[in-house]
Amino acid sequence: MPFDGIVTKAAVTELNENIISGRISKIYQPTTSEIVLAIRSNRKTYNLVISTHPSYARFHLTNEKYINPQEAPMFCMVLRKHLAGSVIEDIEQKGLERIITFKLRSVDEIGDTAIKYLVLELMGRHSNLLLLNEDKTHIIDSMKHISPSQNRYRSILPGQPYTEAPAQEKLHLLEVTGEDIVKKIDFNAGKLDQQLVNVAEGISPFIAREVIHRMGFRNSKAFIEKTNEFIEDIKENQFSPAIYVNEKEDFHVIAMESLQASETFASTNEMLDQFYSGKAERDRVKQQAKDLYRFIKNELDKNIRKQKIHERTLDKAKNAAQLQRLGELLTAHMHLIKPGEESVTVVDYYDPEQKEVTISLQPNKSPSENAQIFFTKYRKLQNSQKIVQKEIEKTEAEITYLEQLLQQIDVARVEDIEEIREELREEGYLRKQKRKKKIKLTKPLPEEYISTNGIPILVGKNNKQNDYLTNRVAHRNDIWLHTKDIPGSHVVIKSDQPDEQTLEEAAQLAAFFSKAQQSSSVPVDYTLVRHVKKPNGAKPGFVTYDNQKTIFVTPSPTVVKERKVK
């Protein structure tokens, strides 16, 4: 993702316009790699997210709501101690590198002015956030601790001397011209975009390809001309934030001539918030549900193996009649069996053609005992057939339930994960936690949407929400929807006679929040809520229904995004 030095410059420029002289009122650490600063500036509160995530390292203002842990991590506590109430005096980028320094002024315990620095280093998986003392010589603390054994050049530990990240020794775009850069380029070597990345500071492969595209043809004169135009745009902050979709989704603040923008934005921070919000949310869910997903997947695999064993047992049981038949033939022809024989050939009087059949014997058993062996196996298989059939039905229900849970994790929000975890405790899959004090349980909160024509649509994101929505919230004449024979969410239209567009949008939501999210032409059943029943003893989220009709739709992320109630 091209969060390069140019995007960093655009983001820093906007932050200097919005939050300089702002005061940090609150500090949160929702995950191990994210810090959120609530900043009060110009009678408005801004939320600044700073992330050192290996894949989504970034910083920008955000409107996203974060779920914070009950106990703040140690690094968050250190930041609160030193930075709570601080005023942001300056935000500075080092050249065009992705290193940003926040200068913060506060008042210490005895009333003296104290200066601290918060340094963000965006370096992919090596990204880090450091809190430094007033003269930037020592580290107070950092989000990631790097010991000397991990990095001999630069250890990052509380109390250690601060060493700046090694310089890349590239040309600073804002201090050179196209002529300076072309001297470093070998046009005969090819791969001009890669050469440009290696020569110029702050340029990602994504924007380098754009510069080469603007040349039109490969010669030094065109390169100098287009590079000078490009540098001038950066110097003058001529930014046009936009998200682009080609083979994958990307973004930049420089207007692309080689790609068509899928969405443009008024500000860089707004673009970054839009681009990262869904991705970061999915990653937070993945982190919080990692152990849960693995547990459910193991249970699912266990039940699939159990199902195969039951099916093999059932196949054997189908041969029970043949065992009875051999036992009766053996009983009828005992006079032909001689002691110690390993087999006997007799006439099969069950066969219309009276063909002969050879029956294997245990030579150390009497004829009567050999016959009883067949009858005993027959009775066992007959009995097991009934038991196994019930076990197969039970296992099939278990597999359906576990697949439903995996699907729910795939579309869950962070706050949904604990509800799924609590459900597994209630169902006996996980051990119940011992709570020292009673915690008031909140009601499940299905997601709310509003159709184009103003009709409310509710979506359950997990079994607790599904049960609550269908059995408690929905009225008997509301419309209920669910993907046909596919694990998915319960969806309710708060109307008994919705228009066609509302019905289609609700069906698209049902298809999107299902296992068929990546499919097209997904069948979605709909019926009145009064035709939906929950059998006694059924698993959470399981219902039966009738009098349904079926509509075929394609899941629509646009409907999910545009129709959701904020």
User: What residues contact residue 162 under an 8 Å CB cut-off, 6+ apart?
Assistant: 130, 132, 136, 137, 138, 139
State residue 26's pLDDT score: 95
Q: Where are the domains of the chain?
A: 5-142, 173-284, 293-408, 447-563
Place of tokens 């040349």: 215
Q: DSSP of 473-528, one letter per residue?
A: IS-TTSEEEEETTS-B--EEES-SS--HHHHHHHHHHHHHTBTTTT-SSEEEEEEE
Q: Tokens at residue 489, please?
A: 């969410």
CB 526 within 8 A of CB 508: no
**Any idea what DSSP says for residue 530?**
G
Q: Give dist(CA 423, CA 494) in Å, integer.
A: 26
Place of tokens 């919705």: 498
C-alpha torsion angle, residues 509, 511, 514, 518 (rounded to 10): -120
117 three-class SS: strand
- In tens digits, what is the pLDDT along the chain, a chain of 566 residues? 578 999 999 999 999 999 999 999 999 998 889 999 999 998 999 999 999 998 889 999 999 888 788 889 999 999 999 999 999 999 999 988 999 999 999 987 777 889 999 999 999 889 999 999 999 999 999 999 999 888 888 899 999 999 988 887 888 888 888 888 888 887 777 788 888 888 888 888 888 888 888 877 666 787 788 888 888 888 888 899 999 887 778 899 998 888 888 889 999 999 999 898 777 777 777 777 888 889 999 999 999 999 999 888 888 777 777 888 888 888 888 888 888 888 888 888 877 777 888 888 888 988 888 889 988 888 888 787 878 888 998 999 899 999 999 988 888 877 788 889 889 988 888 887 665 444 455 788 899 999 999 999 999 989 999 999 999 999 999 999 999 999 999 999 999 899 999 999 999 999 999 999 989 899 999 999 999 999 998 899 999 999 999 999 999 888 888 888 86
Length of the chain as a residue count: 566
- Sign of the CA dihedral running 121, 126, 131, 136: negative
CB 501 within 8 A of CB 466: no
460 three-class SS: coil
428 three-class SS: coil
Strands 58-61 and 44-51: antiparallel
* Distances in whole angstroms, Cα of residue 247 to Cα of each of 191, 212, 250: 20, 19, 9
Q: Tokens at residue 105, please?
A: 């002024």
Q: Give dist(CA 466, CA 457) in Å, integer.
A: 13
557 three-class SS: helix
State residue 348's pLDDT score: 84
Kind and range of the H or E run holding 283: helix 268-288
User: What residues contact residue 544 under an 8 Å CB cut-off, 6+ apart?
Assistant: 532, 533, 534, 535
State residue 6's pLDDT score: 93
The closest of 496, 565, 557, 499 to 527, measured between CA atoms, is: 496
State residue 217's pLDDT score: 60
CB 553 within 8 A of CB 504: yes
> Looking at the domain 173-284, which fold is it?
Helicase, Ruva Protein; domain 3 (1.10.8)
State residue 133's pLDDT score: 94
Q: Give dist(CA 39, CA 52) in Å, integer.
A: 20
Q: Give dist(CA 424, CA 209) in Å, integer.
A: 50
State residue 137's pLDDT score: 92
Q: Give dist(CA 531, CA 545) in Å, integer.
A: 5
**Any idea what DSSP says for residue 531?**
G
pTM: 0.65
State residue 356's pLDDT score: 85
Which long-range contacts link 194-197 to residues 24+ away (Cβ below 8 Å)?
Answer: none
State residue 537's pLDDT score: 86
| Residue 144: count of CB within 10 angstroms of its CB | 17
Q: Give dist(CA 512, CA 557) in Å, integer.
A: 7
* Distances in whole angstroms, Cα of residue 228 to Cα of each of 34, 179, 211, 252, 259: 37, 8, 10, 19, 21
* Distances in whole angstroms, Cα of residue 184 to Cα of each of 26, 170, 217, 231: 47, 10, 18, 16
CATH match of 5-142 with 2.30.310.10: yes
| Residue 88: count of CB within 10 angstroms of its CB | 23
**Angle, helix 320-332 to helix 367-410, in steps of 10 degrees:** 180
Q: Give dist(CA 463, CA 502) in Å, integer.
A: 24
